[in-house]
């Protein structure tokens, strides 16, 4: 079991290297990459938009669904719920218990909200509405993927940069959900640039 203090320490170690010294966080939606080039800035942008791995619900098994929503629509709504799981650097996500979690949930609630499925879900998203005597019983399995596989693995609505000079680039991020702090996003970028 790793304490949050140790995680914090690890993060500081990660950030305390040459690449990170070239990145300066401005706020939760922007940072500056300096001593860089157009090519590196482009590569970093492409990494974030296409290659960065995140975790989403991949397999959705509907055991029972008596709601007015059909199974396909229910599954696609569940699949798009953002998950609050930090990036995982495992090689084989099929056997990793951070990336691959199986969760079964059953609900008869009037308004089924995302947090009923798991505390990993971004809360407050309506999954479906149920009338009296209607219910859903679903198993979901998470998997690591990239936005190239499917949009549900994308964290960003937009990601672009404005050159400040020939060697300095201001990155602007539009997240589709504010679930991952910019420090973690930058850490993944640093790992990619190293």
Q: What is the binding site for Zn ion (CB under 5 A)?
A: 88, 90, 93, 96, 98-99
Q: Which is nearer to Zn ion, 146 or 167 (CB)?
A: 146
Burial class (CB in 10 A: 0-12, 13-18, 19+), 159: buried
Question: What number of other Cβ atoms are within 10 A of residue 139's Cβ?
Answer: 14
- Compare residues 51 and 111 and give the one whose CB is closer to Zn ion: 51
Pick 80 or 98: Cβ nearer Zn ion: 98
Least distance (Å) from Zn ion to the CB of residue 101?
A: 10
Q: Which of 144, 139, 143 is nearest to 117 (CA)?
A: 139
In whole angstroms, the minimum distance from the beta carbon of 185 to Zn ion comes to 18
CB 189 within 8 A of CB 180: no
CB of 47 to Zn ion, least distance (A): 18
Tell me how far, at minimum, the Cβ of 56 lies from Zn ion, in Å.
13
Q: Which is nearer to Zn ion, 33 or 100 (CB)?
A: 100
CA–CA gap between residue 94 and residue 86 (Å, rounded) = 17
> Residue 53 and residue 25: Cα distance in Å, rounded?
21
């Amino acid at each position: 079991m790793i304490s949050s203090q140790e995680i914090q320490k690890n993060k500081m170690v990660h950030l305390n290297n040459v690449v990170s010294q070239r990145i300066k966080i401005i706020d939760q939606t922007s940072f500056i990459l300096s001593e860089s080039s157009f090519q590196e800035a482009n590569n970093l942008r492409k990494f974030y938009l296409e290659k960065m791995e995140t975790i989403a619900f991949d397999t959705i098994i509907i055991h029972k669904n008596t709601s007015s929503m059909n199974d396909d629509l229910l599954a696609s709504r569940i699949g798009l719920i953002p998950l609050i799981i930090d990036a995982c650097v495992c090689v084989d996500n099929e056997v990793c218990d951070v990336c691959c979690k199986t969760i079964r949930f059953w609900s008869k609630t009037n308004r089924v909200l995302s947090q009923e499925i798991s505390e990993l879900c971004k809360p407050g998203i309506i999954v479906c509405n149920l009338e009296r005597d209607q219910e859903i019983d679903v198993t979901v399995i998470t998997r690591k993927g990239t936005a190239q596989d499917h949009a549900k693995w994308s964290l960003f609505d937009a990601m672009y940069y404005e050159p400040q000079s020939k060697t300095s680039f201001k990155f602007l991020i539009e997240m589709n959900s504010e679930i991952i702090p910019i420090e973690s996003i930058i850490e993944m970028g640093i790992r990619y640039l190293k």
